[in-house]
Chains A and B, each alone.
Chain A
Amino acid sequence: MNYLADVGALARKDLLLELRARDTLPAMLLFVVSALVVFHFVLPAGSSDLAATGLLWVALLFTALLGLSRAFAAEREQGVIDGLVLAPSDRSAIWLAKSLATLAFLAAAEVVALPLYALFFHHVGGATVLAVALADLGICAVGTFLGAIAVATRARDLILPVLFLPLAIPIVVGAVGASVVASPGRYLGFLALYDLLFAVVCWASFEYVVSE
């Protein structure tokens, strides 16, 4: 249970930092709201609800990307990562805690974005909410992992979307499928499978990302 305590402490650190500095979440909120407004103008008059559903996922994916590119900002700018690696805990705890913190930010942004989407476009069904929850898990697990890779490169913020988008394509397929079809069971199951598979891979290989 030592491991969970480590994860809890690290995640609390990120949430506290955000609470005090308010770096990431306001930007994510503002971005997702502006994106939804832009999408209203992107869609020609009389477009179907299906097109709007697709755009909801574009908005969510890029909002997540915005948060993920900031996820390791403090670690990079203040050299926190060296301290974390030296700490006597399992390295995968760093990834898990960071994923949880990013998940909290993303969920907070979506609590605003989904009702707003329902107001601007059309109503959001239960399957869509479930798909959002499952997709968030995958996005945060994989995205945080790639965020840790990206901060080690020279290109940094530039490279994260390039690394992330090919891996996010299966999430988009499952999420959009779940929000448009009548019986979304298959798609939700697929999303859960994606989350599970990639979470295991990330958890097992994170050590190699931070150690030399």
Chain B
Amino acid sequence: MNLPAATIQGVGRTRISLPALAAASLVLVTTALVFVFFVVPNDANQGFSQRIFYFHVSIAITAYACFAGGAWKALRHLWKRDPRADLESYVFVHQGLIFGTLVLLTGSIWAKISWGHWWLWSEDQLVLFLVLYLFYCAYFMLRFSVDPGPQRANLSAVYVLFGLVLIPVSFAAIRLAKQLIHPVVFTLHGPNFGGWILVTYCIAQVAMLVLAYTLYQLELSGKRLDVRLRRLREALA
């Protein structure tokens, strides 16, 4: 029986239990919904539709956080040879892609309502996000066409690290020739809003981050269980 490897992959590393995380995200997301729909006043220029901002922006930042987490874990895999890092990196990127889909959807809806088009190429941050989205979709193609093992872990990690370079480079590329119409929410002087709007935004942001982390832990524990099950089957066969 070759079980030590299974214990390395053990589930017992989660510091906060999954049900607690799930309850926290439920409470936070509900609070965020209540604030977005009942507490915050209508926007002076855009009216009711501006409320999608609280979700669009917080989901976008969550997606970026997931991609950053994936890159961090990839770095740990290559650098420290952490045996858990490969799976963690994959799950982070997976969550990032799920939230990324939501960013493109909410962004598109907001663009249709405010600017009258479902898609605007002159709109920096949407285009940047689309490039990244394609990049991470390709990551999935890559990962699913290599057999599990150390080589797959290396190739995936290296490709994710490319993403870290691609983000600033495509941002610069897209900025090179364009006019800005995306509302810039954060400037060098801090967020350009205050009061209830800021409070609501912060709640929505925390809610999305906790939700993403919960989903991350959930998927991770499922995937680890899968690995252990396969190891056990192999040991018994």
Contact B134 A208 (CB under 8 A): no
Report the Cα distance A169→B127, complex, angstroms: 11
> Looking at the complex, which of B27-35, B162-170, B192-200 is the stretch in contact with chain A?
B162-170
Least distance between B164 CB and chain A CB atoms (Å): 9
Residue A9 at the B interface, CB < 8 A? no
Report the Cα distance A162→B138, complex, angstroms: 6
Residues of B within 8 A of A167 (CB): 135, 162, 166
Size of interface on B: residues with Cβ below 8 Å to A? 31
Contact B146 A154 (CB under 8 A): yes
Residue A165 at the B interface, CB < 8 A? yes
Residue A108 at the B interface, CB < 8 A? no
Report the Cα distance A154→B151, complex, angstroms: 13
Residues of B within 8 A of A165 (CB): 134
Residues of B within 8 A of A177 (CB): 176-177
Contact A208 B141 (CB under 8 A): no
Residue A198 at the B interface, CB < 8 A? yes
Contact B159 A170 (CB under 8 A): no
A-side residues, CB < 8 A to B, are 149, 152-155, 159, 162-163, 165-167, 169-170, 173-174, 177, 181, 186-187, 190, 193-194, 197-198, 201, 205, 208-209, 211-212
B-side residues, CB < 8 A to A, are 78, 131-132, 134-135, 137-138, 141-142, 145-147, 149-151, 154-155, 157-159, 161-162, 165-166, 169-170, 172-174, 176-177
Known: A155-B141, A162-B137, A166-B134; 16 extra A-B contacts, CB below 8 A, are A154-B145, A159-B138, A163-B138, A163-B142, A165-B134, A167-B135, A167-B166, A169-B170, A170-B166, A170-B173, A181-B177, A190-B172, A198-B165, A205-B78, A208-B78, A212-B149
